[in-house]
């Protein structure tokens, strides 16, 4: 019997699973289940990050167990796993089961600082931050496995964005990706200052454009085709016809989200057309 879950693993700071993106029905079911049952989740590039909440521990354990059972369907030796319900859960949608799940460093923004939550496996990211980007400004708590980086200018902000878009290679056997919330980065950008006044208006325009990416669960640098695919998924998910007959508040919420998604796509479509011309 075929498994729709290609891989599942448990690191110190995250549970990771790779789901077959070619199985559209199963992938849609997973996305729908997460949306309906978990309060704090983030759509990332071809993946979803579910953050732990005390009130949904039972649901998360059931969800993880279902993915594990699916993974074991086609295995002779069954994998068992004790889930730590206090760490995030990362679901990656992939077209291939080849390769290993890339370890993730969770990134959170608060006011004018960025926090990198690493594990024993990914702690090399601290020296990577110090050496390549922020020098001595990196404040590290090894007991909590958190690195704090202050972002004080637009220049530092855009260095940060380039960093987050990369898959960092520490060795032939260790690659790391960063997971983050696009909306948090938009707010961080709004809180940072420019060293030159002439740069300010451009920064405001950039803020607005990044909000369009966030609305479409995308990142700056994604291809237009990828953005279009996410747009089609969201426009279907939030179409007002789906909640026909529901209460007025629900219809209003879906209609507003539908409008925002459509507007964001149209604005980015114009941007990409200009870039192509």
Distance CA 117, CA 114 (A): 10
* Residue 202 pLDDT: 37
Q: How far apart (Å, rounded) are the C-alpha atoms in residues 227 and 216?
A: 7
Distance CA 48, CA 264 (A): 20
| Rounded distance between C-alpha atoms, residue 127 and residue 277, angstroms | 41
Rounded distance between C-alpha atoms, residue 81 and residue 83, angstroms: 6
* Per-residue pLDDT reduced to its tens digit, 67-91: 999 999 888 888 998 988 888 888 9
Q: Is this model's pTM higher than 0.85 or not? A: no
Q: What is the pLDDT of residue 259?
A: 92
pLDDT at 199: 36
Rounded distance, CA 160 to CA 70, Å?
Answer: 37
- Residue partners of 40: CB distance under 8 A and separation at least 6: 50, 51, 53
Q: What does the pLDDT read at residue 277?
A: 58
Contact of 52 with 84, CB cutoff 8 Å: no
- Quick check: 203 and 157 in contact, CB under 8 A? no
| DSSP summary character for residue 216 | T
CA distances from residue 85 to 13, 88, 240 in whole angstroms, order as listed: 11, 8, 35
- Return d(Cα 51, Cα 88) in angstroms, integer: 5
Hey, which of 87-101, 105-119, 197-211 has the most confident mean pLDDT?
105-119
């Amino acid at each position: 019997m075929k498994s729709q879950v290609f891989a599942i693993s448990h690191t110190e700071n995250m549970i990771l699973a790779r789901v077959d993106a070619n199985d559209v029905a199963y992938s849609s079911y997973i996305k729908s289940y997460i949306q309906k049952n978990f309060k704090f989740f983030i759509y990332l590039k071809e993946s979803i990050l579910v953050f732990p909440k005390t009130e949904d521990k039972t649901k998360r354990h059931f969800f993880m167990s279902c993915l594990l059972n699916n993974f074991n369907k086609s295995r002779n030796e069954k994998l068992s796993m004790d889930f730590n319900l206090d760490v995030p859960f990362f679901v990656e949608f992939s077209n291939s089961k080849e390769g290993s799940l890339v370890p993730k460093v969770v990134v959170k923004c608060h006011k004018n600082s960025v926090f990198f939550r690493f594990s024993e496996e990914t702690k090399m990211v601290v020296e990577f931050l110090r050496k390549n980007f922020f020098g001595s400004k990196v404040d590290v708590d090894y007991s909590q496995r958190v690195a704090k980086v202050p972002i004080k200018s637009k220049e530092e902000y855009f260095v940060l964005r380039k960093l987050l878009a990369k898959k960092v290679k520490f060795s032939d056997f260790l690659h790391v990706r960063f997971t983050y919330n696009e909306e948090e980065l938009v707010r961080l950008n709004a809180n940072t200052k420019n060293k030159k006044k002439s740069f300010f208006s451009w920064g405001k325009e950039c803020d607005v454009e990044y909000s369009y990416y966030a609305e479409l669960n995308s990142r700056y640098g994604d291809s237009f085709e990828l953005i279009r695919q996410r747009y089609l998924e969201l426009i279907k998910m939030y179409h007002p016809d789906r909640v026909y007959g529901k209460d007025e508040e629900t219809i209003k919420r879906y209609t507003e989200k539908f409008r925002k998604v459509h507007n964001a796509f149209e604005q980015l479509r114009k941007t990409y057309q200009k870039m192509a011309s």
